[in-house]
Amino acid sequence: MIYEGEKECTLCGKYKFISSDKNLSEFNHNGKNTDGSPRFQSNCKPCHLETNKKNRRNLAYNIFKIRADLYHTCEHCGLEGWKKMQFHHPSAEDKLANPTDIKNLKKWQIEVEKCIVLCASCHQELHFNERHPELEL
């Protein structure tokens, strides 16, 4: 059975088309109601995308601010400048994810606490030496 109708977006306030056909609906599906009819998100697809973009920008800003305040010095050579720093997991077993791939601020902070801060040059050298111990100078 195809379900169709209109729904008001909670952000833009416009009434838009909803359908059980995901390709036609202007709202994303969000599971099913108890009667089996489709449940839709409260924001239309364009508003939902814009909200996600804002959330990602806010997360990036918060991460950059934390990095600038706390992680601005290489623990190996002492180079200053947070934009040049990278996070290195000393123990591969403790690594759950790459900090740059994490989209949640609390999870990012937990993962970063397991890391040491290195400049790009020291980080590259460390990994090279790990992979090629016979060439270490």
State which residues form the domain around 56. Answer: 1-70
Q: Which residues contact 104 (CB under 8 A, 6 or more apart)?
A: 59
pLDDT tens, residue by residue, 48-100 = 999 999 988 888 888 888 888 888 899 999 999 888 889 999 988 888 888 88
Percent of the chain past pLDDT 90, that is, above it, reads 39
pTM: 0.59
Question: Which of 70, 89, 124 represents a domain boundary (last residue)?
Answer: 70
- pLDDT at 30 exceeding the cut of 70: yes
Distance CA 100, CA 117 (A): 14
Q: Are residues 50 and 101 in the same domain?
A: no
From residue 21, alpha-carbon distances to 16, 31, 56, 67 in Å are: 14, 13, 29, 44
Residue with tokens 């790459």: 98
Question: Which of 43, 70, 97 represents a domain boundary (last residue)?
Answer: 70
pLDDT recorded at residue 66: 87
74: exposed, middle or buried (C-beta count within 10 Å: 0-12, 13-18, 19+)?
buried
Distance CA 8, CA 54 (A): 21
Q: Are residues 62 and 24 in the same domain?
A: yes
Q: Are residues 8 and 66 in the same domain?
A: yes
pLDDT tens, residue by residue, 63-74 = 888 888 888 899
Q: Are 111 and 131 in contact (CB under 8 A)?
A: no
Residue 118: how many other CB atoms lie within 10 Å? 23
Q: Are residues 5 and 49 in the same domain?
A: yes
Question: In the chain, count of helices (H) and strands (E)?
Answer: 3, 6
